[in-house]
Chains A and B, each alone.
Chain A
Amino acid sequence: MRRTQLFLTEDLHKSLKDESQEVNVTVSELVRTILEDHFHENTREKTEKGIQSLLKMAEADE
């Protein structure tokens, strides 16, 4: 794992801290989960768009 420094607004930091306490994880774990979900969702959307393009190519009139 790599260590990094984040500059967050007071409100965002408070929200992260509150939520991490609610779900009983550290702020770092919560940030990791949020980022992993973001990248997964982002990649998933791109995968579907890419597959749709490939299928449209296959179906296009010759």
Chain B
Amino acid sequence: MNKLFITASAFSAINDRSDTNHTKAVEFVHGLFSETVKLYTSQGEVVRAAQKIQETVGRNKMISFMKYLNDGDIIVLPEEPDLLEGAFEVFTDYTKDDIPGFYNTYLATLIKNKGIMHVLSFDDELRQFSLLLWP
């Protein structure tokens, strides 16, 4: 694993102690000390996570999340203008029986465009895009 993308669901699990995936997420993060891996997320995932943390845990925790995100070396990817078009092409290629949600199609397209295969996330639907989901 040399690149790891972190989605909003993983940030929520890390930040919210009452989240059912909190312990799994934190244990996985501890395990990363044995890896040399670049950590990525996107502007959209940061906004989604911040909103969720604000709603479920509160404003102070959301402020801590943003502060630690800015202090750490987690690369926040911009969402480029042609991403929407690319994601729509991927979405329309799926057959009727196998349609993932458009949001996850968009996210998977962004992740794959950056050559990232490993994802820290609790959005199981992302597996449909041949991404390797952790934990």
Contacts and interface: CB of A to CB of B under 8 A. Distances in A.
B87 interface: no
B73 A50 contact: yes
B73 A57 contact: no
Nearest to A55: B29
* Chain B interface extent, by class: 20 to 34
Contacts of A56: 64, 68
Given A56-B68, A62-B58, A47 B36 contact: yes
Tell me whether chain A's interface is mostly helix, strand or loop, or mixed: helix
Contacts of A50: 39, 72-74
Interface string B1-28: 0100010000100110100001001100
A44 B37 CA distance: 7
A43 B36 contact: yes
B71 A53 contact: yes
B30 A55 contact: yes
Contacts of A44: 36
Given A54-B29, A58-B29, A62-B60, A43 B72 contact: no
Contacts of A10: none
Interface in B61-78: 61, 64-65, 68-69, 71-74
B65 A47 contact: no
A46 B65 contact: no
A48 interface: yes
Contacts of B74: 50, 53-54
